[in-house]
Amino acid sequence: MDHLPDTQHEPIIEEDSKLDEDDALDPRIQIELERLNYASEAINQLEVQLDEARRVCDEFKEKSEEELFQLEKKIGEAVSKARTYYDARIKLRDAKEKLIKAKHRFERAQALHVAAKEIAIASADYMDEAARSHQNSTTWNETYLQASAKAKEAEQEKYEADLDQQNAERVHFDLEQLVLKLQKESRRAINKSKPYYEMKVEYHKELDFQKRKVRGLENCVNEAKSQYQESLKNLERISNEIHEKRHQKALQNESEEQISDVSEQQLTYTHMLSIFKFLLSKTKNL
């Protein structure tokens, strides 16, 4: 993965001697530049760590596979004979997890169904009471209809959860029987190959840890890059705002200068007219 170059980030907003003091001291610029530099440093450091984590993971995988291969050669055919048993144990473990989830699902569905039925019954009672008292039962009727619909949904979920649990129990039972059967048939091979499969379990645990570490660092790098891009966009937006503000001020100054020129011209004309009138009056007196 390419690293960002270790260069000083130049401010996106160029220096200008005519830049207003408020613009030059805009705190947002410094904040975003600091975020930009921080993100850049984080990316460089994280990518170094990511490269190292990938290297360690690859080396561990290669080394462990070689050790397992050599151990299998040493133990012999007992490894292949016991493989069906250990594969069945893995499937049994997964089936047990699914069975636990299925039981939890059924328990939740059953509780929701009971609660929904109780609400529907209570709503029906209140609706009947309102009708006997000649009160408006519209609200309770709506509540009853909603509760009845919820009860039907809960009943359907309970039915599906029950089927799911029954299926999970059947799969778990079949695999449990298979493991017991294979254990009896391949007892010697299982005992002899036990060191190999124990090492394989530890290998998979460590490899899974290394992979999770790599994925975590990848997420951190992506997050730092997102922050870097966000700061660039913010600086560009601030730059555009400042230049637009400067442009509007320049237009305002130009308009004020034009008004000032017109006023000066009017003043000069008035002054010359006064002088002309004065000279004209002097001429008449001669």
Q: Measure the CA–CA gap between 267 and 261, rounded to whole angstroms.
A: 10
Q: How far apart are the first and last CA of the chain?
A: 101
Q: Measure the CA–CA gap between 204 and 210, rounded to whole angstroms.
A: 10
| pLDDT tens digits, 108-161 | 999 999 998 888 888 888 777 776 776 666 777 787 888 889 889 999 999 999
Q: Measure the CA–CA gap between 283 and 277, rounded to whole angstroms.
A: 10
Residues in contact with 123: Cβ distance below 8 Å, sequence separation at least 6, in sequence order? 140, 143, 144, 147
| pLDDT tens digits, 226-238 | 999 999 999 888 8
Q: Measure the CA–CA gap between 232 and 123, rounded to whole angstroms.
A: 59
Residues in contact with 66: Cβ distance below 8 Å, sequence separation at least 6, in sequence order? none
Please report, as a single letter, which amino acid is at residue 193.
S
| pLDDT tens digits, 166-186 | 999 999 999 999 999 999 999
The label of the residue with tokens 């929701």 reads: 112
Between the ranges 10-24, 198-212, 229-243, 250-264, where is the mean pLDDT highest? 198-212
| The model scores a pTM over 0.85 | no
Q: At what angle do helices 27-75 and 78-132 cross, to 10 degrees?
A: 130
Q: Smallest Cα–Cα separation from 64: which of 210, 169, 188, 183?
A: 210
Task: Round the average pLDDT of the chain to a whole number and report it.
Answer: 83
Query: Higher confidence at residue 58 or residue 285?
Result: 58
- What pLDDT score was predicted for residue 1? 46
Residues in contact with 262: Cβ distance below 8 Å, sequence separation at least 6, in sequence order? none
Q: How many CB atoms lie within 10 A of CB 92?
A: 17
Compute the 3-state secondary structure of the chain and give helix, strand, coil in percent, each to the nearest 5. 90, 0, 10
Please report, as a single letter, which amino acid is at residue 68.
L
Long-range contacts of 92-101 (CB under 8 A, 24+ apart): 92/172, 92/175, 92/176, 92/178, 92/179, 95/168, 95/171, 95/172, 95/175, 96/172, 98/168, 98/171, 98/172, 99/165, 99/168, 99/169, 99/171, 99/172, 101/168
